[in-house]
Amino acid sequence: MATINIGPTSVLTGFTATQVSSLSTQSLVNLTTQQVVDLSSSAIGGLTSAQLPLISSSNVRVLTTSQVTYLSSTQMAYFSGTQVGALTTNQVKSVTSSQVKGLTPSQMGQLSSSQVSSISATQINALSATQIRAISSVGVKDISTSAIQDMAVQELRYLTVQQVFGLIEDQIRILSSQQVGAMDAAQVGAIESTDLQVMQSSQLNALSATQVSAMGVQQVQAITTSQYAQVGTNFIAGMTHGQLSAMESQDIAVLSTAQLRAISQVNLGQASAGFVNKLSATQVNALTTTQVAGLTSAQLGAMESATVAALQTGAVAALSANALKGLASGQMQQLSSQQLRVLSDQQVQSFSNAQVQSLQSTQVVSLASSQIKAMTSGQVASLDATELQALSSSQWQAIDATDVAAISSASLNALTAGRLAQMTSAQVGALTGPQMSGLSTDQFTALTASRLGTLTSAQVGALSSSNLLSIGSTQLLAMTTGQLGALTSAQVRSLDVAVVNALSSTSLRALSSSALRGLSTD
């Protein structure tokens, strides 16, 4: 095809598309703005891939919207970045959804702020993922709110995390619940903290658990107290233990019973001790027994003593034995009688000796006899004389015989004779030699008044001289041969002469040879 040369004064009105496609390079370069305007819309459609880039930016700007709409999507791709940047906002608005598909990623990246702001939702919804992602992360803020509002879900998902971060408050605020719910987790995690604060509860509640869990610490802390008060249970349920741990005091304070109960036992149990510490007594009591059972020793130990004191018996009964180990002495002393009495045997046994030792007498006496019986030897040994003395007779007798041996001699010696008189035969039989030797005469007399014969040989051998002096001849004669055989020479020597003289030949034969050497020849 022959090349057509024209001058700057030539009139191009009436030129066909074929004729335009034949214009020489020099003719295109020299085109005046009037000549460009004179070209019909159909003639513009004849410009080739080699010709279009030759049109100056100033001439591009004078194209009418009718001429622009006549360009094919293929022709649109022939424009240079500079030419695209020269398009007016009206020209950009006139580009059809079909034409916009021809824009290259490079051209998309050349769009100015005003051009981006003039793009309609219809145009955006015609773009491919590659084209949308070519808009700079700084440029996305210029997309109009109307375009954002009508942006298709698929196009919204095309945005990169950098672009999502580049969105501004007005754009985030205008998103529908459907659009928010369609964003992928990475995009949600990229929403700027200040943008999160303008989101409505309907938007936040549209987020799935996967989306919620993708939020970072800064985002979790950026959500306002009023927003937390309005989010649904699904939002709270979607939070990870790390996110819960990052929540601030004022935000935790507004969580409702329904919201708190939406937290899984695992997430609550893995949340920081600080999170649990920020819960009020009312909130802790609002937790389900399953949730309470998942609390750790560190979490329970972090609670304020006043919160521990306010726990309802149902919550206390639900605490795991391991969690109870975390209670500090100050917290232990805040436990009420009602709280202590609902503890199971396993829970009671979980207390360390130090924890039991921190209990006050009034707390110890509030325990049921079955709970006293469940105590370990170490726990019983942790009770002081005041607490042991304050026990009721049924509580005292509930102490397991094997645990009696753990009571220190000092504590046992500090008890009244009446207290010792209430011991069961099994308990008396469990007393150790050191415990027996430390008994006062009154204690020994009360203890053995009717049970001298139940003492073991080891216990008899441990009796002090003063205790033996309190034994009358009738009691001595009632002792078994095994008990008499356990007497040492020192013990025999301490016996009253009248008592010794009352011994029968059988009793004397029961004494060991070493014991007999303790008899006075006088």
Q: Exposed (0-12), middle (13-18) or buried (19+): which is 238, by Cβ within 10 Å?
A: buried
Q: What number is the average pLDDT over the span 296-324?
A: 94
CA 232, CA 349: separation in Å to the nearest integer? 41
On whether residue 221 sits in a domain, the answer given is yes
Mean of pLDDT over the chain: 91
On whether residue 181 sits in a domain, the answer given is yes
Q: What is the pLDDT of residue 362?
A: 95
pLDDT at 9 over 90: no
On whether residue 335 sits in a domain, the answer given is no
Range scoring the smallest mean pLDDT among 360-364, 379-383, 444-448, 518-522? 518-522
Q: What number is the average pLDDT over the span 28-55?
A: 88
Domain that holds residue 187: 153-263
Residue given tokens 């605020």 in the structure block:
173
On whether residue 236 sits in a domain, the answer given is yes
> Into how many domains does the chain fold?
1
pLDDT at 236 over 80: yes
On whether residue 232 sits in a domain, the answer given is yes
Q: Specify the amino acid at residue 153.
A: V
Q: What number is the average pLDDT over the span 22-35?
A: 86
Residues in contact with 330: Cβ distance below 8 Å, sequence separation at least 6, in sequence order? 305
CA 464, CA 92: separation in Å to the nearest integer? 112
Q: What is the pLDDT of residue 279?
A: 95
* Percent of the residues in the chain that have a pLDDT greater than 70, as a whole number: 98
Nearest CA among 45, 55, 115, 105 for reference residue 79: 55
Q: Specify the amino acid at residue 406.
A: A
Question: In this predicted model, which residue has the larger pLDDT, 240 or 474?
Answer: 240
CA distances from 441 to 241, 373, 388, 454, 467 (A): 63, 28, 20, 18, 5
Q: What number is the average pLDDT over the span 39-43?
A: 88
Q: What number is the average pLDDT over the span 509-519?
A: 83
On whether residue 188 sits in a domain, the answer given is yes
On whether residue 250 sits in a domain, the answer given is yes
On whether residue 171 sits in a domain, the answer given is yes
Q: Which tens digits make up the pLDDT trace of 92-137?
A: 999 999 999 999 999 999 999 999 999 999 999 999 999 999 999 9
0.85 exceeded by pTM: no
Q: Which tens digits make up the pLDDT trace of 458-472?
A: 888 888 888 887 777
Q: What is the pLDDT of residue 1?
A: 46
